[in-house]
Chains A and B, each alone.
Chain A
Amino acid sequence: MNWHTLLFYLFALMSCGFAIAVVASSNVVRMAFFLIVSLASTAGLFFLAGAHFVGAMQIMIYVGGTLVLLIFGVMLTAHAAFVSMVTKSSDWVLAAVFGGALLGLLALTAFSVEDWRVARGDQAAVTSSEGEFASSIGQALMGMRVDRLSEGNSQLEAGMSGYLLPFEIIAIHLLVVLIGAAYLARTKRRVGSVTEGVQ
């Protein structure tokens, strides 16, 4: 067995297993912990697929930023009554049926195309310069698609312009979100009994 395959199965098992654990657990702090492991293993999958920058970004922003925020939220609302909230069993049955059906559909689709099922034969021919280097990603964000230069196809030249506009939009978006979230979270706290929410 190839080491690549072995590591893939390891990371795939970890990310799927802990994702299922997130669903199965009813303690919200443990759910957050399982989510951390699941998303960190996903970053491992990204590294295996050759997307080094995306993998590092996943760890930095998703695991290091978003989840710290989430845990922060969990701890701020970690009143004993809300740590473990049990779902009704009828909801579980419904969700399991629906989820199982969706999973079956997606799995069938994933394995239905012959071309997707096997890896390319000449993996060794792939030079690591294709996509592993962050420089080309940076240039694509600046509006230069270095990887598309060799394409002779005129139809693909439409994609040459890169992602400058989305990049700018997302920058503004982040600024708006920063201000918006700060404004929302600043709202005056209304004094009330915390226990009235407990059923």
Chain B
Amino acid sequence: MAEFINSFLFPDQPDHWIGVLITALIHVVMIINVIAVGALVFIWMERKVSGRIQDRLGPTRVGGKFGWLQTLADGLKLVAKEDITPGQADSFLFKLAPYLSFTASFCAFIALPFASGYSWSSGWAAREVNTGVFFVLAVLGLEVFGVILAGYASGSKWSLFGGMREAAQVVSYEVPLGLCVIIPVMLAGSMNLVTIGDMQEGLFTNWFLFHDPFTFCVFWVYFTCAMASVNRAPFDLAEAESELVAGFHTEYSGLRWSIFFMAEYGSMFLVSALAAILFFGGWNGPFPVFATLASALGWEAWPTTGLLGYVAGLAGVANILFKGVVGVTVMIWVRWTLPRLRIDQVITMCWKYCVPIAAVCFAGALFWQYNNIWFLNSLHPARSRAEVRENWSVNELQLLTPSALHEVGESDMAKGIENEAGGQI
């Protein structure tokens, strides 16, 4: 795209920085739209769902029968509110903290693909990163800094407690989260999110959720840990309004407060979309509509180029958005159903339950994959395609020394162990 823009501006320099800057700005605007519109919809949904669960109607007035403009009205109210900085606060850090949180949440979206590269060489992501899963998790982990700094800089005991809890919780939950993510990475043999999504092409039985019993188990662990790491209830100890007033954002008001919430809803959608890519086939629907259509029309080459590929891409975006929204809905549902845990219960949950279960599932999935047990899926055709995309160095190795590696399964093991080391730290 940058080349395309530069072909008008600077025909002789295809990588001039102005074209790249314009491209980057377009991507930024698109991602901010996803987060902001997402937050609008999710906050409205949260109110409606909580209303239903508590046997009331939720918002009904603003914007017609369903109150769907309620969030916008609230947003206007928040913008109009006074921006207060407490006298005890470290004002520089206090003002900066919400933006830090939002930046982390936003940056993680850079590597999140919304559809496979049907008509282009790379996926529909702002930037397809080769170590995509790892990058997303790493950047998402930075969100905690905003909360910690907000907790410290507010100059309030409640906020400090909230920040400390958040630090302990997020650092702990990164370990099981990493362990859970390794399993799809191991099955796909790549950390590239586009490759992982492409591997699950075809019928819904190809989704990694149904790959073997262990991946089915580990998805639930992943979802629990993801909820904890974006500190949603029942893990929202950083806020804990029954004990800490409002936790880390006790002293915040107006726009800064709402930026914290944008970041929270942004990362909720992000972990749900990540779950969709890792376990639910990402942009691949339950039935391969477009691949069937292409073969019915007599086009043997898939991925298709041109219009059908583009439409397939749009359908993929719709798919992944739908799956992400379903994930967020489940999070909202859980929040209004379960009571909040105590801090010791949260940490126990992490170290005594999530980590061992994830580790056992990892070993089981490794065994399953190594022995080539096929359960429901037929990953072979998609696998070869992913290998071509990835330009695997394993293939080079096999060409050079055929006896060095017998099967690709061994290299999967190598990657799994490498990632385990990343997750352990």
Contacts and interface: CB of A to CB of B under 8 A. Distances in A.
Interaction A to B? yes
Contacts of B149: 29, 33
Contacts of B19: 3
Given A2-B15, A33-B93, A75 B190 contact: no
Given A3-B20, A135-B411, A167 B92 contact: no
Contacts of B160: 75
A1 B414 contact: no
Nearest to A178: B424
B296 interface: no
A137 B130 CA distance: 13
Contacts of A59: 135, 138-139, 141-142
B274 interface: no
Contacts of B16: 1-3
A57 B422 contact: yes
A112 to B, nearest CB: 29
B411 A75 contact: no
A159 interface: no
Nearest to A146: B393
A7 B74 CA distance: 38
Given A59-B139, A78-B152, A149-B400, A134 B167 contact: no
Interface residues on A, range: 35 or more
A49 interface: no
B386 interface: no
A181 B421 CA distance: 19
A96 interface: no
A65 B414 contact: no
Interface string A56-87: 11011101110111011001001000000000
B226 to A, nearest CB: 15
A29 B152 contact: yes
B145 interface: yes
B51 to A, nearest CB: 37
B327 interface: no
B144 interface: yes
A134 B397 contact: no
Interface string B211-247: 0000000000000000000000000000000000000
> Which of A63, A128, A174 lies at the interface centre, i.e. has the most chain B CB atoms within 10 A of its CB?
A63
B340 interface: no
B418 interface: yes
Q: Is the interface of B mostly helix, strand, loop or mixed?
A: helix
A33 B101 CA distance: 13
Contacts of B46: none
B93 A29 contact: yes
Contacts of B189: 135
A167 B421 contact: yes
B411 A1 contact: no
Contacts of B47: none
B90 A29 contact: yes
B415 A134 contact: yes
Interface residues of B, number: 58
Nearest to A135: B393
B421 A171 contact: yes
A132 B414 CA distance: 17
Contact of A61 (B2, B148, B425): B425
Nearest to A177: B425
A142 interface: yes
B422 A40 contact: no
Contacts of A133: 130, 390-391, 393
B263 to A, nearest CB: 16
B394 interface: yes
A129 to B, nearest CB: 5
A109 B139 CA distance: 35
A104 to B, nearest CB: 31
B342 to A, nearest CB: 20
A179 interface: no
Interface string B151-167: 01100000010011001
Contacts of A68: 144-145, 148, 167, 170-171
Contacts of A64: 138, 141-142, 144, 174
B375 to A, nearest CB: 25
B181 to A, nearest CB: 11
A19 interface: no
B363 to A, nearest CB: 17
B6 to A, nearest CB: 10
Nearest to B137: A60
A5 B138 CA distance: 25
B138 A56 contact: yes
Contacts of A134: 130-131, 134, 191, 415, 418
Given A2-B16, A75-B148, 15 more contacts: A3-B19, A29-B149, A56-B129, A60-B137, A65-B171, A72-B167, A78-B152, A127-B391, A134-B131, A134-B415, A135-B393, A135-B394, A142-B418, A144-B414, A149-B396
Interface of B: 2, 15-17, 19-21, 90, 92-93, 96, 129-131, 134-135, 137-139, 141-142, 144-145, 148-149, 152-153, 160, 163-164, 167-168, 170-171, 174, 189-191, 390-394, 396-397, 400-401, 404, 411, 414-415, 417-419, 421-422, 424-425
12 contacts: A3-B16, A3-B19, A5-B17, A60-B134, A63-B138, A68-B145, A68-B171, A75-B148, A75-B164, A134-B134, A134-B191, A135-B392
Interface of A: 1-6, 27, 29-30, 33, 36, 40, 52-53, 56-57, 59-61, 63-65, 67-69, 71-72, 75, 78, 127-129, 132-139, 141-142, 144, 146-147, 149, 167, 171, 174
